Structure 1
Amino acid sequence: MRRASGRVLLTLARSVAIFVPVFFVATFVTFALRSLSGLSPARIQLGEDATPQAIHAIESQWGLDRPFLVQYWTWFTEVLHGRLGTSWSSGADISTLIGLGLGVSLSVATLALVLGVVLGFVLGTVAALRRTTWIDRAVTGFVTVVSVMPPFVVGIVLVEIFAVGLDWLPSAGYVPAAEGIGPWLAHIILPALALSFDVVADVARQLRTGLVTAYRENYVTGALVRGLSARRIFFRHVLRNAVGPALAVLGVKFPALVGASVVTEWIFGLQGFGRFANDSAQAGDVPAVQGVLVVSIALVVTFNLVVNIVLGRVAPASRRGV
């Protein structure tokens, strides 16, 4: 138990040592984009015909006349306290606006990830255990097809079948989980399923490759010679050594599911994180876009940290640096 806790702490320390400077550099680059964009709150509030004096007055109110590094440090310290600034367009608190959309997107992304992992693990395992057979070829063909299907196309098909044709599920909208698990699940199952296909394909491919490779290792032969059962060999030796690449894929998949679902959210009428990011970018609302990027960075860093800890616990090969 003590050795296991020590490994977890060591993995955590290594991950933090990597991700803290990554987060700092990423936020610096994110903030620098405002200076490079040339956008100003004065242009949004006063229009293109604003006088230089009016522009200077508005920019002074927002602190944009101060040195760049002073602006960055003020903004960064606010970010560390969970305050992402004020929207140029609406004057609303960006943390609040992002929180409203993020709750929707996290619900959909989490369910999509669960569906993708479960289905991907099942398909990848079946393909590996039945390698070189028609089952393996069928699974490989299926994951190849679904990996190139855009989520918005899958979403439209799902709406036509389950919402319009069968009338089993709502076609759009969102209900918070606090108002009932049933209605909440009914509203997010279709967009989650549409987004899960890419996860299914990647997890299935990575797991199949890892399992096939692991079965060729000498320790499997040794386990068979010792008389261990096929089930024990699979769960105690093969799966633990093969699951690393499949888990590593999830480190980038989950944040991508949260932030890259703009079209899917439009199809299902969801006011999510991706849609907020798109609307902010089109409006030229730089602080809102910066807030979106910071939250995206935090999601990537946090989820990769979790994945690294899990890998350190369940995948022996990752602890050896393989």
Structure 2
Amino acid sequence: MIFFVLRRLGTGLMLALPVTVITFLLLSTSFDDVATSILSSGATPGRVQEQKAQMGLDRPVAVQYADWLSHAVHGDFGVSYFTAEPVRSAVTARLGVTLSVVLVALLVTTVISIVLGVVAASRGGVVDRIAQGASLVGFLVPNLLIAIVLVYALAIEAHLLPATGYTPLSENPARWAAAITIPVIALVVPGVAALTAQIRGAMIGELRKDYVRTLRTRGIPTRSIVLKHALRGAAGPALTVLSMEFVQMLGGALVIEKVFALPGFGSYAFDASLQGDVPIIMGITLFGVLLVVCLNLAVDLANGWLNPKARIH
């Protein structure tokens, strides 16, 4: 198991290398624009070249990337071109804001999807049609529209929740919960749509298998069959969908954070991209890749725990 974990982490690091190389190559085409942005739009070409030389952007791209990589290996990701803020502290602080929303949304999505998917598959009828209808709505309605409707209904009209802003959990848990409620709901709706459909389909497939009929002939209660056996068998595919939902929620957080003025990972990445802040963009890219790698590793380990046949020793 230890060898498997190390191998997956090594594979993830090898994946991060070409991703950061491609990102840096794409960014290298805008080095002149970065220098101009730092100076002013009226800077002369000579002054722009001086600024590039001062920042080390006039060196060969391969040399610049190698220099960034050698520092990144030791945990030094540089500082922002525009604020002089260390990249590591800037990215981790904002990543914490995003994860505080995304992880709560993922937890709520998981609970609701399991309940709806299991009940719909095992009982059918009206509950099944409601679950399928809810999934269809979640697929069709974009989370931006959901966010706008929720802000209007819960913040502007009812005055129950704040429309924008963020309060850290450590500062005031109640205000933190109020601040993330609408963003979480906006992320949960499309997430429930995808995960419920997956769990429902997987559960229907499990309940039709021979071992379920065998358990029923032995007098095992239906609830035990559904929750202890069928759900465990259906959890593997659901975990895969859940991991993809996590990645989609991270992407959706960009829109949500801009709408609700949250100082998170997505909005920070967007602003850094507009400015051409190379150290920040490189740090965000690397942190994002490593986050996905760790998530996939956790899903593989959970699959191995749920399904002994999938375990790798």
Please give the TM-score of this superposition, normalised by the length of structure 1. 0.88
State whether structure 2 residue 295 is matched by structure 1 residue 303.
Answer: yes
Give the corresponding residue for 1:80.
Answer: 73
- Residues 263-272 or 184-193, more deviating: 263-272
Distance (whole Å) between structure 1 residues aligned to residue 160 and residue 39 of structure 2: 49
Match 1:247 to one of 224, 235, 239: 239
State whether structure 2 residue 75 is matched by structure 1 residue 103.
Answer: no
Judge conservation of contact 2:34–2:275 (CA < 8 Å) in 1.
no
Give the corresponding residue for 1:288.
Answer: 280
Q: Once the two structures are superposed, what CA deviation does each residue of 1:77-109 show, in whole Å capped at 9, x if it has no partner?
A: 322333322222333322233233222211111
CA offset at residue 261 of structure 1?
A: 2.0
Cα 1:169–1:317 shift into 2, 3 Å: farther
AA aligned opposite 2:231: L
CA offset at residue 233 of structure 1?
A: 1.9
Judge conservation of contact 1:164–1:171 (CA < 8 Å) in 2.
yes
Give the corresponding residue for 1:276.
Answer: 268
State whether structure 2 residue 162 is matched by structure 1 residue 197.
Answer: no
State the identity %: 35
CA offset at residue 237 of structure 1?
A: 2.1
- Residues 45-54 or 141-150, more deviating: 45-54
- In the alignment of these two chains, the number of paired residues is 312
Judge conservation of contact 2:138–2:191 (CA < 8 Å) in 1.
no
Cα 1:152–1:193 shift into 2, 3 Å: same
CA offset at residue 318 of structure 1?
A: 4.0
How much is the aligned-residue C-alpha RMSD, in angstroms? Answer: 2.2
- Residues 104-113 or 56-65, more deviating: 56-65
CA offset at residue 209 of structure 1?
A: 0.9
Distance (whole Å) between structure 1 residues aligned to residue 258 and residue 59 of structure 2: 39
Distance (whole Å) between structure 2 residues aligned to residue 74 and residue 253 of structure 1: 35
Judge conservation of contact 1:30–1:290 (CA < 8 Å) in 2.
yes
Q: Once the two structures are superposed, what CA deviation does each residue of 1:85-137 show, in whole Å capped at 9, x if it has no partner?
A: 22223333222332332222111111111111111111111111123x23212
Q: Once the two structures are superposed, what CA deviation does each residue of 1:35-63 show, in whole Å capped at 9, x if it has no partner?
A: 24454532222335444443333222222
Secondary structure of the corresponding residue to residue 115 of structure 1: helix
Judge conservation of contact 1:248–1:307 (CA < 8 Å) in 2.
yes
